[in-house]
A and B are shown apart, each in its own frame.
Chain A
Amino acid sequence: QQQVKQSPQSLIVQKGGIPIINCAYENTAFDYFPWYQQFPGKGPALLIAIRPDVSEKKEGRFTISFNKSAKQFSLHIMDSQPGDSATYFCAARGSSNTGKLIFGQGTTLQVKP
């Protein structure tokens, strides 16, 4: 119940494509869902986050879609660029577990020029 399942494990797209990364969870107590981007040798950097009372959130080229009934959420990267090549992690946090993030296993994205 504490897991967050992320897919795919790896993804290759051409420049300008729209990679989509999916996450699913079981625990309905989760009510905050951030996405992090991590480059080699760096710590994860917060990209965008959503609460379940919102079905979609956009920040720049990054969009989160949230389906509360299906307990799924996804990250879309519009007009992807080679500089977006990184590992992406979804996460979840429950209000009763403040500060504790449960992470998905990560998706390694490669954007080819």
Chain B
Amino acid sequence: KAGVTQTPRYLIKTRGQQVTLSCSPISGHRSVSWYQQTPGQGLQFLFEYFSETQRNKGNFPGRFSGRQFSNSRSEMNVSTLELGDSALYLCASSQTSAAYNEQFFGPGTRLTVL
């Protein structure tokens, strides 16, 4: 089985722009979670989607949003980019949204905001 794929792998944007990141989960996985990884804050949960519904949301401003499509693929969007949004954005998929379900991470999208 192919793993979690994320596109693009690298992005460079300027302050004020918006960006859309894409995640394709492992085939058969219906739950997708997004995380932000920075050297200072570590890995922080952004949101989780299951069956096209947002199930959980982390403590991030409204500039961060996401959605999930009927084929379980997910996108996240960041509007009005700030320098502090520079980070590795990771997507993880699992079969269901159950607590003990293993989450498998993609390679991430490295976003640099100039």
Contacts and interface: CB of A to CB of B under 8 A. Distances in A.
Nearest to A96: B99
Contact of B102 (A34, A42, A94, A102): A34
Contacts, number: 71
Contact of B33 (A34, A99, A102): A99
A99 B58 contact: no
A31 B108 CA distance: 27
Interface string A74-113: 0000000000000001010111011111111110000000
Nearest to A45: B105
Contacts of B97: 98-99
Contact of B45 (A31, A36, A51, A101): A101
A97 B90 contact: no
B45 A46 contact: no
Contacts of A44: 43, 90, 105
Interface residues of B, number: 28
A100 B103 CA distance: 10
B39 to A, nearest CB: 10
B55 A99 contact: yes
Contacts of A89: 42-43
Interface residues of A, number: 27
Interface of B: 4, 31, 33, 35, 42-45, 48, 50, 55-56, 58, 90, 92, 94, 97-108
B49 to A, nearest CB: 9
Contacts of A41: 107
A43 interface: yes
B33 A95 contact: no
A62 interface: no
B109 to A, nearest CB: 10
A102 B90 CA distance: 14
Given A95-B99, A97-B56, A98-B56, A43 B105 contact: yes
